[in-house]
């Protein structure tokens, strides 16, 4: 961790590691790329375009050998089980605001203007949305989990802004309730 904290990409590495350590489930590279891109967006950007995505090599290199990406599943994870055990014990020392940061990122992501179209009316458009917005499903399904674990800070205003936008809420609800294995349109 000392090596990470002394490099110029320290913030990126700490973001990536905190997502890997505190995510509810294993994340694919695209999900992590979208998560770390959210704070780089210009205020008027409706969605996360390719130009905002940090390349795989930079993500891996910034984490100084602590992460790997599975070639088949594209899941980014800690390189060894003992690394996870270390962060299970000492994670709060290295990532004190991780749950708040993740919850805030999920709220910002779900509040992107691209989701103001509401839920998708066809399987094809929903599949395209999930491909283009790789963090959508994770954010919708796990926002509550991360908010529940926030011990400091206030996400009230950001949460209210999202919850009061019926179309964005409809989009998130679709991602929350639609099972990838059983697409259905009657929503």
Number of domains in the chain: 2
CA–CA dist 152, 101 (Å, integer): 11
Element (H, E) at 105: helix 98-110
43 and 127, same domain (yes or no):
no
Q: What share of the chain is helix, strand, coil (3-state, %, to 5)?
A: 60, 5, 35
Specify the pTM. Answer: 0.90
In a shared domain, residues 114 and 85: no
Rounded to a whole number of angstroms, the distance between the first and last alpha carbons of the chain is: 46
In a domain, 140, yes or no: yes
Q: What is the pLDDT of residues 157-172, one digit of tens each?
A: 889 999 999 999 999 9
- pLDDT one-digit tens code per residue, 76-128: 999 999 999 999 998 888 999 999 999 999 999 999 999 999 999 998 999 99
Q: Which domain holds residue 49?
A: 2-94
Whether 139 and 160 map to the same domain: the answer is yes
CATH number, domain of 43, equals 1.10.10
* Same domain assignment for residues 169 and 120: yes
């Amino acid at each position: 961790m000392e090596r990470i904290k002394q490099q110029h990409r320290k913030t990126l590495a700490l973001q990536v590691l905190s997502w890997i350590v505190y995510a509810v489930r294993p994340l694919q590279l695209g999900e992590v790329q979208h998560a770390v891109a959210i704070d780089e967006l210009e205020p008027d950007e409706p969605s996360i375009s390719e130009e905002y995505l940090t390349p795989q090599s930079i993500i891996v290199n910034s984490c100084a050998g602590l992460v790997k990406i599975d070639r088949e599943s594209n899941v980014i994870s800690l390189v060894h089980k003992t690394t996870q055990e270390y962060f299970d014990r000492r994670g709060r020392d290295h990532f004190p605001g991780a749950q708040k940061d993740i919850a805030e990122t999920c709220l910002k992501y779900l509040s992107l203007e691209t989701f103001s179209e509401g839920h998708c009316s066809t399987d094809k458009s929903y599949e395209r949305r999930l491909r283009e917005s790789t963090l959508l499903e994770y954010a919708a399904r796990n926002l509550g989990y991360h908010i529940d674990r926030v011990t400091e800070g206030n996400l009230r205003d950001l949460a209210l802004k999202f919850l009061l936008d019926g179309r964005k809420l409809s989009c998130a609800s679709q991602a929350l309730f639609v099972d990838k294995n059983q697409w259905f349109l009657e929503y």
